[in-house]
Amino acid sequence: MSGGNNTFLGMPAFPENAAAAVQNSQLRFNLRKATHTIRGKRAGVVAELPDWMELRQAGKEIKDHTLRNLERYLLQLEEAVTEAGGHVHWAADADEANRIVADLVKATGETSVVKVKSIATQEIGLNEALQAEGITAYETDLAELIVQLGDDWPSHILVPAIHRNRSEIREIFQDKMADWGRAAPEGLTDEPSALAEAARLHLRERFLSTKVAVSGANFMIAETGTLVILESEGNGRMCLTLPETLISVVGIEKLLPSWRDLEVFLQLLPRSSTGERMNPYTSAWTGAVEGQEFHLVLLDNGRTQVLADEVGRQALRCIRCSACLNVCPVYERAGGHSYGSVYPGPIGAILTPQLRGMSSAVDASLPYASTLCGACFEVCPVAIDIPEVLVHLRGKAPHARAERLGMRAAGWVLNRPGRLGRTQRLGSRLRRFVPKRLPGPLSGWTNTRDIPDIPAESFRDWWNRTDGGAR
Amino acid sequence: MRVALFITCVNDTLFPGTGQAVVTLLRRLGCDVEFPQAQTCCGQMHVNTGYPEEGRLLARHFVDVFAEYDAVVAPSGSCAAMVREQYPRLTRATAPAAVPAAGTSADATVAGVAPAGRVRVPSSGGPVSFADEVAALTPKVYDLSEFLIDVLGVTDVGAYFPHRVTYHPTCHSLRGLHLGDRPTRLLEQVRGLELVPLPGADECCGFGGTFAVKNPAISAAMCGDKVHNVVSTRAEVLCAADNSCLMHIGGTLKRQRTGVRIMHLAEILAATEVTR
Ligand code: SF4
What is the predicted ipTM? 0.89
Q: Mean of the pLDDT values across residues A223-250?
A: 95
| pLDDT value for B239 | 98
Q: Cα B116 vs. chain centroid, distance in angstroms? A: 29
For B95, other C-beta atoms within 10 Å of its C-beta total 15
**Cα–Cα separations (whole angstroms), residue A99 to A40, A131, A248:** 42, 12, 14
Nearest CA to ligand 1 atom 8: A321
Q: Is B88 on the interface with A (CB under 8 A)?
A: no
The answer to whether residue A176 scores a pLDDT higher than 50 is yes
How far apart, in Å, are the Cα atoms of B250 and each of A393, A436, B123, B208, B273? Answer: 31, 15, 50, 15, 26
Spell out the residues 6+ positions from residue A331 whose beta carbon is closer than 8 angstroms to its own: A31, A35, A325, A344, A345, A346
How far apart are the CA of A62 and the centre of ligand 1, in A? 15
B261 touches chain A (CB under 8 A): no
pLDDT confidence of residue B168: 98
- Write the CA distances from A455 to A166, A216, A340, B240, B257, integer angstroms: 54, 60, 43, 20, 21
Average the pLDDT over A100-118 and give the result: 97
Measure A346 CA to nearest chain B CA, in Å. Answer: 14
Mean pLDDT value across residues A254-266: 97
Sign of the Cα torsion A404, A410, A416, A418 reads positive
Distance of CA A469 to the CA centre of its chain: 54
Is the pLDDT assigned to residue B94 strictly greater than 70?
no
Nearest to B171 by CA among B78, B250, B247: B78
| Closest B-chain CA to A408 | B54
Global pTM value: 0.91
Instruction: Give strand pairing partners of B5.
Output: B73
Question: Please, what is the average pLDDT of chain A?
Answer: 92
B residues 36-55 near A, CB within 8 Å? 37-41, 43, 45-52, 54
Instruction: Say how far apart CA A328 and CA A346 lie, in whole Å.
Output: 7
A458 close to B16: Cβ distance less than 8 angstroms = yes
Please report the pLDDT score of residue A437 as a whole number: 67
Reported confidence tier of residue B115, pLDDT bands at 50, 70, 90: very low
Distances in Å between the alpha carbon of A173 and those of A30, A138, A167, A299, A406?
Answer: 19, 15, 10, 33, 53
How many percent of chain A have pLDDT more than 90?
Answer: 79
Residue B97 DSSP SS3 = helix
C-beta pairs of B244-247 under 8 Å, 24+ apart in sequence: B244/B10, B244/B76, B244/B78, B244/B207, B244/B209, B245/B78, B245/B168, B245/B170, B245/B205, B245/B207, B246/B168, B247/A452, B247/B10, B247/B14, B247/B15, B247/B207
pLDDT of residue A436: 66
Nearest to B251 among A441, A450, A462 (CB): A450
What's the pLDDT at A439? Answer: 65
Mean pLDDT of A73-96: 98
Q: Which of A80-94, A145-159, A335-349, B130-144 has the lowest mean pLDDT?
A: A145-159
Q: Among A22, A414, A462, whose Cβ lies nearest the Cβ of B20? A: A462
Hey, is B120 helix, strand or coil? strand
Contact B264, B18 (CB under 8 A): yes
Report yes or no: A19 and A346 within 8 Å, Cβ to Cβ: no
Residue of B nearest to A13 (CA): B215
Query: Cβ contacts (< 8 Å) between A468 and chain B: which residues?
Result: 23, 33, 35
Nearest CA in chain B to A414: B40
| pLDDT value of position B276 | 55
pLDDT at B97: 40
| pLDDT value of position A214 | 98
Compute the average pLDDT of residues A249-261.
98
Q: What is the pLDDT of residues A45-70, one digit of tens each?
A: 999 999 999 999 999 999 999 999 99
| Pocket-testing residue among A322, A350, A390, ligand 1, by greatest number of atoms within 8 A of Cβ | A322
Q: Which contiguous run of DSSP H or E holds residue A131?
A: helix A126-132
Q: How confident is the model at residue B96 (pLDDT cuts 50, 70, 90)?
A: very low
Interface subset of B 205-234, CB within 8 angstroms of A: 206-224
Whether pLDDT at B268 is above 70: yes
Chain B touched by A455 (CB under 8 Å): yes
What pLDDT sits at residue A325? Answer: 97
Query: What is the pLDDT confidence band of residue B121, given thresholds at 50, 70 and 90?
Result: very low
Reading phi first (left if > 0) and then psi (alpha if -120 to 50, else beta), residue A219 is in beta
Is A434:A446 a contact under the CB 8 Å cutoff? no
For residue A186, the model assigns a pLDDT of 92
According to the model, what pLDDT value does residue A419 have? 82
Classified as helix, coil or strand, A340 is coil
pLDDT band at A6 (very low <50, low <70, confident <90, very high): very low
Q: What does the pLDDT average to over A165-185?
A: 93
| A83 pLDDT above the threshold of 80 | yes
- Closest Cα to atom 2, ligand 1: which residue? A380
Rounded mean pLDDT of A412-430? Answer: 80
Task: Place A416 in a pLDDT band, splitting at 50, 70 and 90.
Answer: confident
Residue of A385, A345, A383, A395 lying closest to A366 (CA atoms): A345
pLDDT band at A164 (very low <50, low <70, confident <90, very high): confident
**Residues of chain B with C-beta less than 8 angstroms from the C-beta of A410:** 45-46, 54
- Reported as a single tens digit per residue, the pLDDT across B20-42 is 999 999 999 999 999 999 999 99
B123 in A contact zone (CB under 8 Å): no
Which residues are CB-neighbours of B257 under 8 A, at least 6 positions away? none
pLDDT at A445: 66
Give the one of A378, A395, A442 whose C-beta lies nearest to B52's C-beta: A395
Name the pairing type of β-strands B71-74 and B141-143: parallel
Which A residues in the span 386-415 are in contact with B, Cβ-Cβ below 8 Å? 388, 391, 394-397, 399, 403, 407-408, 410-411, 414-415
